[in-house]
Amino acid sequence: AQTVTQSQPEMSVQEAETVTLSCTYDTSESDYYLFWYKQPPSRQMILVIRQEAYKQQNATENRFSVNFQKAAKSFSLKISDSQLGDAAMYFCAYRISNTGNQFYFGTGTSLTVIP
């Protein structure tokens, strides 16, 4: 079974500091995609970053970067220079490539940014 685990229900970070959100997943597939989505209080799900499993290079998107460890099945999100607008629920998600099947979501991490 495909599962995604986010072991940190809540995290906090001081404004301008760096925080890392953890995510692990369980799969027997070799070709898949990983995502981090952000859900602010408006509840609109926003794509933060994506990673193809076949790529060894870690994805980056401005202040957001990932540490993808395929052998360990780990996909953590690093937020640098945290801003107040980064406060949100963050969901890690996984999807098998080219199957048309569902995404598997973690339970989420609530991030608080302290001014």
Partner 1 sequence: GAVVSQHPSRVICKSGTSVKIECRSLDFQATTMFWYRQFPKQSLMLMATSNEGSKATYEQGVEKDKFLINHASLTLSTLTVTSAHPEDSSFYICSAIEYQETQYFGPGTRLLVL
What residues make contact with partner 1 under the rule CB under 8 A? Answer: 33, 35, 37, 42-47, 50, 52, 91, 93, 95, 97-98, 100-103, 105-108, 110
Nearer to partner 1, 53 or 113 (CB): 53
Nearer to partner 1, 55 or 114 (CB): 55
Least gap, CB of 96 to partner 1 (angstroms) = 9
85 Cβ neighbours under 8 A, 6+ residues apart: 40
Shortest CA distance to 1 belongs to which of 77, 97, 94, 100?
A: 94
Torsion of CA 61, 65, 68, 73, to 10 degrees: -110
Nearer to partner 1, 46 or 84 (CB): 46
